Amino acid sequence: MARRRQIYEGKAKILYEGPEPGTIIQYFKDDATAFNAQKKGTINGKGVINNRISEYVFTRLSHIGIPTHFIRRLNMREQLVRQVEIIPLEVVVRNVAAGSLSKRLGIEEGEVLPHTLIEYCYKDDSLGDPKVSEEEIACFNWCSHEEMQDMSSMAVRINDFLSGMFSGIDIRLIDFKLEFGRIWDGDFARVILADEISPDGCRLWDINTNEKLDKDRFRRDMGGESEAYQEVARRLGLLQNEDNGPGEVLDMSAHRGRLRSTPKPGKK
């Protein structure tokens, strides 16, 4: 295959120039980082699973009218997406206290929030992605007021949809992170959902046992992270009849049993 031009290498993905102008290929790595990249490692098979989970989630979201950058999955580790101008904010949606919210405000992990919270963090690794206020976002013009409204209303819809989708497979959606980008049409910019949605950027707990099925297993040295990611994919029904590409083995069933599993719900 002809060599492709690499545009950017991030912590979990590599971006390559796509086959047509305005497109990009996202390559999902197994690399994992935490605590602003102070902790580094790999989660076996993570890239393959995140590619598949993110494809599934973005496709389902497009069916409810959320505009996304996703075009199609190309192979086990790559997907074709629309090139966007990334808005330099992480939009965090929280239903249950955990992580930095618990630490910052002393609220016990697992406490259900009185209502859903939306937070914004400024995307800057050298600053550790600090939480920022709407006033600061406006002051430094990281996005317009209308873009903020578009992002927050999409975040609420995405949260409602994903909470229901995950509860149908006995998973609680504790919190998650979204990224958005702009697409230009002449002088007009439209905000669309970008990046990925996977257990790397969500907290997912088993409804019955509170077992963590997300990157916290890696962050907190709990072990079983590959199996946890696989379990999410399995419950979503994504591991059946998977046509594995050459050299990629998706079946990690040998590890099963380290995580309690819930039977897959009946076909919807």
Q: Judged by CB under 6 A, does residue 13 bind ligand UDP?
A: no
Q: Which residue is nearest to ligand UDP (CB)?
A: 99
Alpha-carbon distance of 212 to 223, in angstroms, equals 11
- Structure token pair of residue 77: 């580790």
Interface region with ligand UDP, contact rule CB under 6 A, candidates 24-32, 77-85, 157-165, 196-204:
196-204
The only residue of 181, 201, 226, 250 in contact with ligand UDP, by rule CB under 6 A: 201
Q: DSSP label at 145? A: H
The only residue of 25, 32, 61, 202 in contact with ligand UDP, by rule CB under 6 A: 202
Q: What 3-state DSSP class applies to 101?
A: helix
Closest CA to 158 of 124, 202, 114: 202
Asked if 13 and 27 touch (Cβ cutoff 8 Å), the reply is: yes
Positive/negative CA dihedral, 260, 59, 68, 76: positive
Closest CA to 99 of 204, 236, 198: 204
Interface region with ligand UDP, contact rule CB under 6 A, candidates 16-24, 109-117, 173-181, 221-229:
173-181
Closest CA to 24 of 42, 9, 44: 9
| Amino acid, single-letter form, for residue 14 | I
The only residue of 172, 177, 212, 235 in contact with ligand UDP, by rule CB under 6 A: 177
Q: Using the minimum distance from each CB to ligand UDP, give the nearer residue, 100 or 262.
A: 100
Q: Judged by CB under 6 A, does residue 215 bind ligand UDP?
A: yes
Which H helix or E strand runs over 31? strand 31-34
Q: Using the minimum distance from each CB to ligand UDP, give the nearer residue, 176 or 189.
A: 176
Site string for ligand UDP, 90-129 (x = CB under 6 A): x-x-----xxxx---------------------------x
The 10 Å Cβ neighbour count of residue 25 is: 22
- Report how far Cα 161 is from the mean position of its chain's Cα atoms: 14
Size of the site for ligand UDP (CB under 6 A): 14
Which H helix or E strand runs over 185? strand 171-185
Site string for ligand UDP, 56-95 (x = CB under 6 A): ----------------------------------x-x---
The only residue of 56, 166, 176, 180 in contact with ligand UDP, by rule CB under 6 A: 176
Q: Judged by CB under 6 A, does residue 217 bind ligand UDP?
A: no
Q: Using the minimum distance from each CB to ligand UDP, give the nearer residue, 189 or 196.
A: 196
Residues of this chain that interact with ligand UDP (CB under 6 A) are 90, 92, 98-101, 129, 175-177, 201-203, 215
